Structure 1
Amino acid sequence: MAGQAALDGALAALPEDRRELARLLLAARQPVPAHPVPRSGTGPVPPTALQNRLWSRERTHPAVATGSHALRLTGPLDQGRLTEALTGVLRRHGALRTRLVRSTTEGPRLYVDEEPALRLTRADLTGFPARAAAERVAREVAESASTVLDLETGRTSAFRLLRTAPDEHVLILASHLAVFDGWSSGVFLADLAAGYRAGPAEPAPPGLQFADYAQWQHRWLAGPDGTAELARRRAVFAADPPAARCPAGFDRGHLPVRLARGPVEAGLALGAGEGATPFMTLLAALAVVLARRQGRTSAVIGTPAAGRFAAPLEGAVGQFTTVVPIRIDLAGGPGFPELLRRTRTAVAEALGHQRLPVDALFGDGTPPPYDVLFALHNYPAVPLELPGIEVGQLPGPPARHLELYSPDPAATLACVGLVERDGEIGGTAEYNRHAITPEGVRGLLAGIEEVLHRAATAPDSPL
C-alpha cells in the first residue's frame, strides 16, 4: 500500500498533460488480466474493433449504426422526473457520454465527457384527431430509426417524448450501436425506472464501464494471451473457405419468419432428451441445410453473442456484442442424436471465445467462413416499472443487424433472428437482396423444419 501511495504521489506531481501518458506507460508494463478491470485514470482509450468498423462505415452510410425502439406510457407521467431520470442514466454510464476523436499520431481515441448531454424533443399531440395523432406517432417512430447519430461529436442518443392524451405518452429512444447493444436496453430501462422512483438519489455508476472494456480489449489483443488465442481460433477455420462476396454488393431486405410448430416441437423434444438447448437443436438442423446447400461435410454458422463474459459487464451499457463462428462437423453421416452431441460440444467451445472480436478474428479484408448468421435471442426481459404507469412496447422498423454483425455484409446471405414466445418460434430475417431472394430465405427455414421432422420420425437415420 505504501508503494502505491508513493506512486500516486509521484503521478500527482507531474504536469497534467504528462500524467495520463505516465499512467498509460505504467499500464502497458503490467500483465493484462484475463478479464476487464477498472482502469487507472480517465484519459482517452482506443476504440474497440467493432467501433472502428462502424465508425468507418457511417462515414459513407449515415444512420447505419442507429438503433431505435419506442414505449407507450399510460398513466400520470411526471415529465420532470422522467427528464431527471434520463439524465441520470446518461450520467451513470460513460458509454452514453462517449466521443471518438481523430488523432493523426495514435489513431482514433474514445473520450468520455464529464457531463451528460440529454437530447430530448417533446411534442404535444393532444389536440390532434385520433387518426392524425397515430400517424404522427408512427412517423416519429420511423424517423427515429433513421436518426443520424455521430460517434465523433458525441451525439450517440436522442429521445422523443410525445404526449398523445392527458395520461398517455410515447417515449422513443434512438441510440448509436457503437455504444449500445441489445442487452443494454434492459440495463437502460432498469436504471431509468430506478432513477424515476428514487428521484435525485439515483443509483451509483457501475464499477466497470465501457471505456475500461475498450482499453482492456486493445491491450489483451496485442498481448501474448490474446495473440495466442487468436492463432488457435483461426486454426479451427483454416480449412474453411471464405464466404463468397456478392459482386453487386449489399442491399438490405427484411422478411418476417415463423417456424412450423409441429416439426419444431418434436425436434426440440428430441434435442432436450439429448441435453441440447432449443438454440443448439435449431442450429444443428440449420447446419444440415447449409452443408447440403454448399456440398460440404461441415458447416460454419455465425451467431451473435452478448460478449459479457465477465459478471461486472452485465450491469454496464455499451456495445459488447460479438459474432461467434461455430463449426459443426457432419462427416460420416451421423444420425440426429449424434449431430446434437457434436453441436453441443461445438457451441460450448465457440462461446468460450467471446473475448475475441470477429473483426480481429476475420479482419484482414477476407470475408469470414460463414454466410448465414443465426440467433435465438434471450436478452433479459426487464420491464420498465414506473409507479402508476402501464408500459407497452410499440412496434417499429426492423432492426439493422447485418452491418453490425458482419465485417462484410456483401458476403452474407441472411441473418435470422428468432425468439420463442408462447410455444411459437418466429422473428425476422434480414437478408442481402443481391445474394438471395425471399423464397431462398424461406427455403432455409423450410429446410430446418424438414430436418427436424425427419429427425423426430427416424432419429438414427444418417443425415
Structure 2
Amino acid sequence: MAEPAGLEGALTALPEAKRELARLLLAARRPVPGHPVPRSGAGPVPPTALQTRLWRRERTRPGVATGSHALRLTGPLDPRRLTDALTGVLRRHEALRTRLTLPATGRPLLHVDAEPVLRLTRADLTAHSPAAAAERVAAEVTDSAATALDLESGRTSAFRLLRTAPDEHVLILASHLAVFDGWSSGVFLADLATGYREGPGGLEPPALQLPDHADWQHRWLTGPDGSAELARRRAVFAADPPAPRAPGGFARGHLAVRLARGPVAAGLELGAAEGATPFMTLLAALAVVLARREGRTSVVIGTPAAGRFAAALEGAVGQYTTVVPIRLDLAGGPSFRELLHRTRTAVAEALAHQRLPVDVLFGDGTPPPYSVLFALHNYPAVPLDLPGVEVGQLPGPPARHLELYSPDPAAALACVGLVERDGEIGGTAEYNRHAATPEDVRGLLTGIEEVLDTAVTAPASPLTARP
C-alpha cells in the first residue's frame, strides 16, 4: 500500500533514522489485515520469528542454516545466459537480497539491498578422468551444504557451476534457510528457466515479497487480532506437557525410511473411503503409535506447513514454513474409522492457525508439547526447463529439518519426511541421537504399518492407549 505522494516527500526529507521510525509509527496506526499485504515504503522491517531464531543460532553455530541441492545439466548450456538468469532471479526476489542488522536499539531489522550480488564460482573439470571428476563433484556438493552463509552480511546464497564434460555441467545452489524454503525451490527453478529462455528482463517482481510478510507478521502478532488468536491457541495446548529435553542436547542423525506397500496401500484406501487424505490417514496411525508408546489418550504431533496462506505468496521465494501442532484425541477407545474423523477435524482446525509462528506459540523457553514431526511432502514439482538441456537431480547431504522446524531441537525425537511416488511412500527421517536410535525411528514406521494392517482387518475394533 503506497503512501500519498506528499507524505512520501515529507518522509524523504527526514534524516534516515527518523524516516524509518516515522514509517513504523505510521504503519502501527493502520488496521492490520488478516493476511499479508504490500508494506508501506521500502525501509527495514522486523524479521520473522523463525528468522530471528535462525539468526541467533547461527551466531554460535555457523552453517547451521544452510540448505543446498545440485542439478546435472546435460546438453549445450550457455553459461553466460545462465549467469544473467541467476542475477535476474536474485533481482526479482527481495528475499535473496536481504540482510539483517542489529541497530543500537538491540532489535534486529531486515534490510533489502537495491542491487543483487551473484556469488558464483566456476570450475572446469574436463581434464579430469570421469572418476576424478565425479569425486570432485561429490566433494563440492558436500562442501556447499556446509557453507557458512550469513544473514547479517547478506551472503545468503552461493552458486557453483562445474563443467564435467563438453556438454555436461553441474549447478550447485546453496541458500540460507532464513530466506529460502522447500517451496522456494520450485519458484526459483521456474524463474531461472524463464530468465534463461527469455532473458532476465521479463522477470517481474511478485505481488508480495518476504519483507512484506515479515512486516505484516510483526504487526499482526502485536495487534489485537493476532494476540487474541495466540491466546486461544495456547489454551488448546495448556494441559499438554512439554516434550522432555534430551540430557545430551541435540546431535543429528539420518536414515532412509520406507513404508511397506501392502498394508499402507490398503490403509490409505480405508482412509479415502472415510474422506481422509493420505496424510491424515498416516497421521492417525502415527498418533496411535505415539499414544501407546507414551501411555496417553491424546498426543500432539508437529507438521511443517507451507505457510503460504496468502495466494500471492505462492510465487515468491522466501522462508514461510511454519510448524503446525496437531492435537489428536484417542480418549474413549475410538475405532480407527472414528479416529480418522477426529483427525480430519483436528488437521483442518490446526491448519486454520498456520499464521501463528511456532516460535511465538511456544516461545517462552519451554519446549513445545511434541517431540515428533511428520510430513508427507507435496512441493510443486517444477522442472528446470532449459532449451536443449536435460536436467537431473543429484543426491546430496540431507537437510537440517529439526534445527529448522523445532524451537528446541534437544526436545525433538525425530522428524519423518515422506514423499509418495509411483505408489511407494518413503523418504528420510532425521532424529536426535541423544534421544533416539535408528531402531526407535524405524519402530515408528513399523508401528504405522501395524496399525493400518489392523485397521483394515478390523476397522470397527476400538483402539486402546496401550498395545
TM-score after normalising by structure 2: 0.97
Structure-to-structure mapping, 1:199-348, within 5 angstroms: 199-348=199-348
Residue 452 of structure 1: SS of its match in structure 2? Answer: helix
Deviation at 1:106, TM superposition (A): 4.6
1:84 counterpart = 2:84: yes
Query: What residue number does 2:167 align with?
Result: 167
1:93 counterpart = 2:93: yes
Cα root mean square deviation, aligned:
1.2
Are the equivalent residues in 1 in contact too, given 2:245–2:410 (CA < 8 A)? yes
1:38 counterpart = 2:38: yes
Instruction: Name the count of aligned residue pairs.
Output: 462
Deviation at 1:15, TM superposition (A): 4.7
Deviation string, structure 1 residues 317-349 (Cα, Å, up to 9, x no partner): 110000000000000111111000000000000
Residue 68 of structure 1: SS of its match in structure 2? Answer: strand
Are the equivalent residues in 2 in contact too, given 1:335–1:460 (CA < 8 A)? yes
Deviation at 1:19, TM superposition (A): 3.0
Query: What residue number does 2:457 align with?
Result: 457
Residue 326 of structure 2: SS of its match in structure 1? Answer: strand
Give distance in 2, aligned partners of 1:432 and 1:20.
43
Give distance in 2, aligned partners of 1:297 and 1:375.
22
Deviation at 1:21, TM superposition (A): 2.4
Deviation string, structure 1 residues 15-44 (Cα, Å, up to 9, x no partner): 555333222211111111111111111111
Query: What residue number does 1:190 align with?
Result: 190
Deviation at 1:207, TM superposition (A): 1.8
Are the equivalent residues in 2 in contact too, given 1:20–1:41 (CA < 8 A)? no
Give distance in 1, aligned partners of 2:9 and 2:248.
60
Residue 233 of structure 2: SS of its match in structure 1? Answer: helix
Give distance in 2, aligned partners of 1:253 and 1:104.
39
Structure 2 residue runs of 5 or longer lacking an equivalent are none
Query: What residue number does 2:178 align with?
Result: 178
Deviation string, structure 1 residues 112-142 (Cα, Å, up to 9, x no partner): 1001000000000001001000000011011
Deviation string, structure 1 residues 304-325 (Cα, Å, up to 9, x no partner): 0000000011011110000000
1:48 counterpart = 2:48: yes
The answer to which of 271-280 and 10-19 deviates more is 10-19
**Aligned AA (1:59):** R
Give distance in 1, aligned partners of 2:6 and 2:181.
40
Are the equivalent residues in 1 in contact too, given 2:88–2:201 (CA < 8 A)? no
Give distance in 2, aligned partners of 1:222 and 1:17.
22
Query: What residue number does 2:75 align with?
Result: 75
Residue 232 of structure 1: SS of its match in structure 2? Answer: helix
**Aligned AA (1:342):** R
Give distance in 2, aligned partners of 1:435 and 1:12.
55
Give distance in 2, aligned partners of 1:33 and 1:106.
28
Are the equivalent residues in 1 in contact too, given 2:89–2:200 (CA < 8 A)? no
Structure-to-structure mapping, 1:63-142, within 5 angstroms: 63-142=63-142
Give distance in 2, aligned partners of 1:62 and 1:202.
36
Structure 1 residue runs of 5 or longer lacking an equivalent are none
C-alpha spacing 1:6/1:122, structure 2 compared with 1 (3 Å): closer
**Aligned AA (1:318):** G
Identical columns (%): 82
Query: What residue number does 1:25 align with?
Result: 25
